[in-house]
Structure 1
């Protein structure tokens, strides 16, 4: 730049961007519960992972083929991981706009009247102080129950490859029915582990279609004549007719009547005061619908940016 007498004038360099406040990005927390560990990551809205943490989960094997875990232990591991990623990332918790959970397709059991972990360890099903209320996906105790279910040849089996795997959750529920004291089984309510985690996070009884359709024999209303989602004749055929009472309350109820079911990505609710305190997060953060870990891996894969050049 020159003055009127054509002498050069030094221009002070100035960046107007310096006058603007720094952009505050939204952040999200993802929790992945695998067979041996719980993991958490915090990620910003651009997809940049800011921090990761992992904690080993306890595993009990009371007999050959029996594998058990505890939602109490799993939740404690999750809380430790979440607190650590927030601390290590130095992210302001007020910028966290959502949290989501995925987990193995394991069966979690609570009491419906007191909402406490219900032991799944026979023969007396007493709590040894560890709240062992999870039958892990790879548990193979319900051999006879799986055979009984598949021998019905019920039409819903076509939605799970023609037969239920011993690693699915309905054989495990039937095993508990056959071995638990009746008064205990009547008090039980059942969750896929991912749904149990969103329950602990929100206090809500919402179930995910991912869990109930893929692992519990749920057929969405309107599909193949399904009226309630849960098939009453199937439950009676396999010996779980008791669970049809009160509109399948112990399994999560009937959608829109006595229960709520959502798809992946839909909100279950918001963090309760208790869960927020345990996780070290602000109360009211939206909680996304839980999904089975394998399906969460698919979501992450198709959502990834890949350079094929």
Structure 2
């Protein structure tokens, strides 16, 4: 039996899946790597760590699965978006990668808006200039590290760099290129206008489709991993695009909610013609010639993790969720906004910070836990509401990540989104989407949709409770009032932060 491998270069670890032609996961391995934060707002990684840990994880999955390595015929990649990897002309790394959650580039974002204009930028890229994107990082290095910038010949994103080390082939595919803020989304080409007007002298890498085979494994990689040099390597996609493929988000009306460190609401879009005025991200999909729109909560699971570390360090996440379920809808009059590192959708504000609103002496730890879960879900609902307001259908929402691990949180999503929620039987996130790209690329299926029908299994559908939907609609209106009321206060408090 033949096998394929999906590799996800995440923010905290690489995850590798080995999958057979039925979609069954035969083995998986996760290898963590360090995150460096030398200054407040900085977030960096060593690209060499991604390669080293991926090789280790590949060796482990082959050992766990106990299969003939020659049965692995293809592999593909998923990866964290936006991260800047600068390379010399000989493809050596110039400096540590600057990641998506790095917020040092506010000045560069304002520079882009001033020199290009918001309307022109939206017309080309469909996205606003935000700190997380790649272009502001390029401009930051050019200003603050000119000696390093001069060494750079081109740039890649995290998973593209690992793929380069595996194949020797420099390329970037459209779903990740769309997150650089340099791609003309509809033309599927690098914007000469943006590069010229912002004086980007560094070469943009060649563009390929996510499903394109870009080579086979280099002999030294094959030797280190135990795989064959004949393994086909496919370009892959951005983590959210691959997550969407893994969840079967490949047609109109299909939407996904992913709660990891950040939170994502993603909806399929067939054309690149809609205008969301930058309120949500608009990216090319890993499915060729299609798109997706996406809203982001910067600190979704991260807010829950902060709450656990700060108040319940020894208590498992599952117990905290059950604890939260003891509190009623609305947490007895307590609201939480998950802005602990700023917010992305719909406010794009790096200065805003989180709030608990309505605290009184009667509140319990159950109320605080519920308020945190509800606040995260309210923030995600901001994106759901924008999608619905555009006239797009939201027939069902596939929930993946931490938000899909408990029936209590699934029910909360169904009630707040006012939409049926699907929980997958086997939820592997972006790495499964990468494996599906490899499966399609190897000719196992005639389309990604056919692959999704074979691989995707829905374990349960959670229906919204009409009474809870109405109650949450009232609470959501109050939640929306918090940002404009606290924006200036938290901005002034910035001078007191470390």
TM-score under structure 1 length normalisation: 0.76
Question: How far, CA to CA, are the matches of 1:135 and 1:162 in structure 2?
Answer: 20
Indicate whether 1:196 and 2:157 are aligned.
no
By how many angstroms is 1:109 displaced?
2.5
| Alpha-carbon distance change, 39 to 232 in structure 1, aligned in 2, over 3 angstroms | same
By how many angstroms is 1:156 displaced?
4.1
Paired residues of 1:108 and 1:134 also in contact (CA < 8 A): yes
Structure 1, unmatched stretches of 5+, are: 1-24, 120-132, 244-249, 253-258
Question: How far, CA to CA, are the matches of 2:130 and 2:20 in structure 1?
Answer: 38
Indicate whether 1:35 and 2:11 are aligned.
yes
**Tell me, what secondary structure is at the counterpart of 2:131?**
coil
- 1:103 aligns with 79
Indicate whether 1:251 and 2:191 are aligned.
no
Question: How far, CA to CA, are the matches of 2:211 and 2:87 in structure 1?
Answer: 28
- Deviation per residue, 1:85-122 (Å, 9 max, x gap): 00010011010010111110143434333322211xxx
- 1:134 aligns with 97
- 2:192 aligns with 232
Indicate whether 1:205 and 2:170 are aligned.
yes
Match of 1:269 among 215, 225, 229: 215
Indicate whether 1:291 and 2:237 are aligned.
yes
Q: How many residues align?
A: 253
| Alpha-carbon distance change, 142 to 36 in structure 1, aligned in 2, over 3 angstroms | same
Q: How does 1:207-226 map to 2 (within 5 A)?
A: 207-219=172-184, 223=187
Question: How far, CA to CA, are the matches of 1:187 and 1:110 in structure 2?
Answer: 6
Match of 1:93 among 69, 87, 98: 69
Question: How far, CA to CA, are the matches of 1:208 and 1:278 in structure 2?
Answer: 26
| Alpha-carbon distance change, 285 to 60 in structure 1, aligned in 2, over 3 angstroms | same
- Deviation per residue, 1:241-261 (Å, 9 max, x gap): x23xxxxxx221xxxxxx3x2
Question: How far, CA to CA, are the matches of 1:214 and 1:106 in structure 2?
Answer: 6
- 2:45 aligns with 69
By how many angstroms is 1:238 displaced?
2.6
Question: How far, CA to CA, are the matches of 2:21 and 2:198 in structure 1?
Answer: 47
Question: How far, CA to CA, are the matches of 1:275 and 1:61 in structure 2?
Answer: 30
Question: How far, CA to CA, are the matches of 2:37 and 2:150 in structure 1?
Answer: 22
Question: How far, CA to CA, are the matches of 2:121 and 2:73 in structure 1?
Answer: 38
Question: How far, CA to CA, are the matches of 1:184 and 1:160 in structure 2?
Answer: 24
Indicate whether 1:143 and 2:106 are aligned.
yes
- 2:28 aligns with 52
Paired residues of 1:99 and 1:288 also in contact (CA < 8 A): yes
TM-score under structure 2 length normalisation: 0.48
| Alpha-carbon distance change, 46 to 114 in structure 1, aligned in 2, over 3 angstroms | same
Question: How far, CA to CA, are the matches of 2:56 and 2:26 in structure 1?
Answer: 16
Question: How far, CA to CA, are the matches of 2:146 and 2:111 in structure 1?
Answer: 21
| Alpha-carbon distance change, 161 to 110 in structure 1, aligned in 2, over 3 angstroms | closer
- 1:173 aligns with 138
Return the index of the structure with the highest Cα Rg.
1
By how many angstroms is 1:66 displaced?
0.3
Question: How far, CA to CA, are the matches of 1:306 and 1:159 in structure 2?
Answer: 38
Paired residues of 2:13 and 2:30 also in contact (CA < 8 A): yes
By how many angstroms is 1:169 displaced?
0.5
By how many angstroms is 1:237 displaced?
2.4
**Tell me, what secondary structure is at the counterpart of 1:62?**
coil
- 1:116 aligns with 92
Deviates more, 1:204-213 or 1:109-118: 109-118
- 1:122 aligns with none
Question: How far, CA to CA, are the matches of 1:308 and 1:66 in structure 2?
Answer: 40
Question: How far, CA to CA, are the matches of 2:136 and 2:86 in structure 1?
Answer: 17
